[in-house]
């Protein structure tokens, strides 16, 4: 587009002899207050109008004084969405944005206008952009001449715009199933081509047979809302009954004489379009658009509206299907729970078994904090199930579909822990032959579980604190700051408050970790769960070993119930596994003499039993510790944990290098 004459002259004055201050711009506006075809205005950093010349005020159809102090969004409505990206760019970069051709229907106009716009930064003495000056060149007349020669081209452009609207609506509905909440955004897309002031979405209630309004987009509403339930003979109900779109004028609306049509007429609507939402199973609802313009909707508009209605219908059908599946899933779960023990069956929460009040209190805390991103600190003795609680927190959170990454801080040498957590760059240390991504990055958008957090060195604690505070870190040997979005769950069996007092643990890190502490009770504080756990482990190991254990003698259960289980659930699990191995008949055989003889903690006979059991499993695995056929996998332990136990119990290769027990 070539602009000549006075318009081009004023544009050159602004663009090549750029005013540097607000006062110079205001003088420019004063000098060219009414210059034909040249609009000038100044915005502050919040995009509020500071000054405007009469030419641009007339173009906008709003008095000049009514512009002052108002944002462009308040003045221009949806049109502001076109301008704001350019203004943001000028504000952020301090660079001018030139020659932006804009064509749009202003809220105060009925015909499209056309302009070439330039946006220029106005900076203070420090170089900061405090205002934005704009030169608006009116080219509507030239455009009208050009457009008079484009009949077919304009039609293609309109079809392209409608296709874009359909694409955007499709993306919205694909991204979110809750079509009720995003309906105003669907309406906003339609408004770009249909310019409706009113849009409503109603769905058919299967029980009552009535159309009930689900969402409405009516920003210029004057009076209160009409009822949400459509009358049997109003336009929406008629379109649904006839299963065909209806285009109605003011006279048609007056003939219905219902509360809703009377309300729409009172609001000044003169045109209405009702499009039914249809699916093979039957009609689902109605999409309604209204306008204050006469004959606002044409038969050509129905092609677009029918497509939008079809997309909405599919979205609601998918939502209903998802709800049905969830209901059936819940029903099946309830039936399974009933068959497995009814109302007194144990609670299963991510592999957590038990129905004691102490455990329920923990699970209630899990349910409370799961949906938040708060850091959780799990406190409890060894073997209480801190890892299971951490996994339950993750699966109950909004991050459940993202990674759950675990790291045992005590299982990795201090010198390697930083690399394991944060990763390292190639050449960061001897042996670092390639870049390594740490657990932090692996947990992006998900959850990082740091077990035995109390074992982390004081040198590493500030780096972890930085992640919790600023969500950023650098890889070992690197300089690039990496942003991370994760939820941290930490666990420890140590008294961190005591460690803080003894200067072994940073107080600021402790307070960051201690946002939502959950204490997991030891097994001796929830003895009512012991029978449930015993039955569970008996079934688990009997199935694995193909044993048919059908009963647990009362004497056995009483003895297990009365034991303090210093190793908690993990100790109970290992003890039951050994008992299943020893059981040759249909009743569980437990070495009760060991429990009776040594009821205290740190029992040497129990250690002897554990030692013999590990040796037997090592013989069975032919000395293989790790891997799919290794003893660690069979025992349900990590390789490092098993090796630690072997060192503590004095188990050497000589003890299990004999022939397999099988």
CATH code for 154-320?
3.30.450.40
**Could you give the CA distance from residue 380 to residue 661 in angstroms, rounded to a whole number?**
37
Cα 308 from chain centre: 26
Answer whether residue 601 shows pLDDT above 50: no
258's CB contacts (< 8 A; 6+ apart) are: 231, 233, 234
- Lookup: tokens for 577: 């596994």
At residue 195, φ and ψ (nearest 5 deg) are 60, 35
Alpha-carbon span 284 to 580, nearest angstrom: 58
Count of H helices and E strands in the chain?
A: 28, 21
> Per-residue pLDDT tens for 614-628?
888 888 888 888 887
Looking at per-residue confidence, does 473 or 628 come out higher? 473
pLDDT at residue number 149: 66
Nearest to 249 by CA among 292, 202, 309: 292
Section 561-585 average pLDDT: 88
Class for the domain spanning 6-147 = alpha beta
Q: Give the model's pLDDT for residue 338.
A: 33
As a 3-state breakdown, the chain gives helix, strand, coil percent values, each rounded to 5, of 50, 20, 35
CA atoms within 13 A on the CB side of 440: 26
Residue range 115-135: mean pLDDT, rounded:
92
Confidence of residue 1 (pLDDT cuts 50, 70, 90): very low
How far apart CA 533 and CA 574 sit, in angstroms, is 12
CA quadruple 571, 577, 582, 583: dihedral sign: positive
Contact 253, 222 (CB under 8 A): no
Considering all CA atoms of the chain, what is the largest pairwise distance in Å, rounded to the nearest integer? 109
Residue pLDDT, tens place only, 265-308: 999 999 999 999 998 888 899 999 999 999 999 988 998 999 99
Q: Which of 149-153, 328-332, 425-429 has the lowest mean pLDDT?
A: 149-153
Reduce the DSSP state of residue 121 to 3 states and report it: strand
Q: Rounded distance, CA 483 to CA 471, Å?
A: 6
* 624-660 pLDDT per residue, tens: 888 878 888 777 677 887 888 888 788 888 888 754 4
User: CA 423, CA 409: separation in Å to the nearest integer?
Assistant: 15
The fold of 527-656 is Helicase, Ruva Protein; domain 3 (1.10.8)
Read out DSSP for 175-196?
H-S-HHHHHHHHHHHHHHHH--
Give domain 349-521's CATH number out of 3.40.50.300, 3.40.30.10, 2.60.40.10, 3.30.70.270.
Answer: 3.40.50.300
**pLDDT band per the 50, 70, 90 thresholds, residue 662:** very low
In the structure encoding, which two tokens stand for residue 576, read together? 């039951």
Say which residue, 154 or 612, is predicted with more confidence.
612
The reply to whether domains 154-320 and 527-656 share a CATH topology is no
Q: What CA–CA distance (Å, rounded) separates 646 from 655?
A: 11
Provide the sign of the torsion angle of the four alpha carbons 142, 100, 84, 201, taken in this order.
Answer: positive
According to DSSP, the residues that pair with 376 across neighbouring strands are 489, 516
CB 556 within 8 A of CB 538: no
Q: What is the rounded average pLDDT of the residues 213-238?
A: 81
What is the per-residue pLDDT across 430-461, written as a single tens digit (0 to 9) for each?
Answer: 777 788 888 988 999 999 999 999 888 888 99
Tell me if 523 sits within 8 A of 358, measured CB to CB: no
Answer yes or no: pTM beyond 0.75: no
Q: How many CB atoms lie within 10 A of CB 304?
A: 20
Q: Coil, helix or strand for 606?
A: helix
Least confident piece of the model among 314-323, 403-412, 514-523, 528-537: 314-323
Q: Break the chain into its structural domains and give their ranges.
A: 6-147, 154-320, 349-521, 527-656
Among all chains, which residue has been given the structure tokens 């990674």? 403
Hey, what are 176's tokens? 């979110």
- Between these two residues, 428 and 76, which has the higher pLDDT value? 76
Burial of 563 (0-12, 13-18, 19+ CB in 10 A): buried
Q: At 375, which helix (H) or strand (E)?
A: none
For residue 49, the model assigns a pLDDT of: 95
């Amino acid at each position: 587009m070539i602009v000549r004459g006075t318009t081009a002259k004023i544009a050159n004055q602004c663009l090549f002899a750029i005013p540097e201050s607000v006062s110079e711009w205001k003088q420019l506006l004063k000098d060219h207050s009414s210059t034909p075809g040249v609009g000038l205005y100044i915005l502050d950093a919040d995009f509020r109008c500071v000054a405007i010349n009469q030419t641009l005020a007339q173009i906008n159809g709003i008095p000049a004084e009514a512009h002052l102090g108002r944002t462009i969004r308040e003045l221009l409505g949806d049109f502001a969405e076109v301008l704001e990206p350019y203004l943001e760019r000028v504000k952020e970069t301090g660079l001018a944005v030139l020659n932006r051709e804009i064509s749009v229907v202003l809220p105060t106009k009925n015909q499209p206008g056309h302009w070439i716009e330039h946006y220029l930064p106005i900076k203070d003495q420090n170089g900061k952009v405090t205002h934005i000056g704009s030169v608006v060149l009116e080219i509507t007349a030239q455009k009208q001449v050009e457009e008079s020669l484009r009949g077919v081209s304009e039609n293609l452009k309109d079809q392209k715009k409608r296709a874009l609207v359909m694409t955007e609506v499709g993306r919205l509905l694909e991204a979110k199933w809750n079509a009720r909440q995003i309906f105003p955004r669907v309406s906003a897309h339609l408004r770009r081509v249909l310019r409706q002031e009113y849009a409503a979405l109603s769905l058919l209630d299967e029980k009552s047979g009535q159309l009930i309004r689900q969402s409405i987009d009516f920003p210029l509403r004057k009076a209160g809302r009409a009822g949400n339930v459509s009358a049997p003979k109003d336009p929406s109900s008629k379109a649904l009954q006839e299963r065909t779109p209806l285009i109605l004028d003011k006279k048609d609306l007056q003939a219905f004489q219902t509360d809703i049509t009377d309300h729409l007429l009172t609001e000044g609507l003169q045109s209405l379009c009702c499009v039914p939402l249809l699916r093979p199973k039957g009609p689902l609802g109605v999409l309604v658009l209204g306008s204050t313009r006469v004959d606002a909707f044409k038969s050509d508009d129905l092609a677009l509206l029918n497509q939008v209605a079809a997309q909405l219908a599919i979205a609601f059908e998918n939502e209903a299907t998802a709800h049905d599946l969830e209901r059936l899933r819940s029903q099946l779960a309830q039936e399974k729970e009933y068959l497995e023990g009814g109302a007194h069956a144990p609670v299963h929460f991510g592999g957590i078994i038990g129905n004691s009040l102490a455990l329920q209190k923990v699970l209630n805390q899990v349910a409370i904090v799961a949906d938040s991103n708060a850091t959780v600190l799990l406190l409890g003795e060894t073997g209480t199930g801190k890892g299971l609680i951490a996994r339950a927190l993750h699966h109950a959170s909004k991050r459940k579909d993202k990674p759950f990454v675990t790291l045992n801080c005590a299982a990795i040498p201090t010198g390697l822990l930083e690399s394991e957590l944060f990763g390292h760059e190639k050449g960061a240390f001897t042996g670092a032959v390639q870049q390594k991504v740490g657990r932090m990055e692996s947990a992006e958008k998900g959850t990082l579980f740091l077990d035995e957090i109390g074992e982390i060195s004081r040198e590493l604690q500030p780096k972890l604190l930085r992640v919790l505070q600023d969500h950023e870190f650098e890889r070992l040997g690197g300089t690039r700051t990496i942003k991370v979005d994760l939820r941290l769950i930490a666990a420890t069996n140590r008294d961190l408050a005591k460690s803080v007092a003894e200067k072994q643990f940073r107080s600021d890190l402790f307070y960051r970790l201690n946002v939502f502490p959950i204490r997991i009770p030891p097994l001796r504080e929830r003895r009512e769960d012991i029978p449930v756990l015993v039955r569970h482990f008996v079934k688990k190991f009997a199935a694995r070993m193909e044993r048919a254990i059908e009963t647990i003698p009362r004497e056995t259960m009483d003895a297990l119930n009365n034991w303090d289980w210093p190793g908690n659930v993990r100790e109970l699990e290992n003890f039951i596994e050994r008992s299943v191995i020893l059981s040759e008949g249909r009743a569980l055989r437990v070495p009760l003499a060991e429990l009776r003889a040594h009821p205290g903690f740190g029992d040497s006979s129990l250690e002897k039993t554990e030692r013999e059991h590990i040796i037997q499993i090592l013989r069975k695995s032919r000395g293989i510790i790790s891997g799919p056929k290794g003893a660690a996998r069979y025992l349900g332990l990590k390789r490092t944990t098993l090796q630690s136990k072997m060192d503590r119990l004095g188990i050497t290769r000589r003890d299990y290098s004999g022939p397999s027990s099988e």
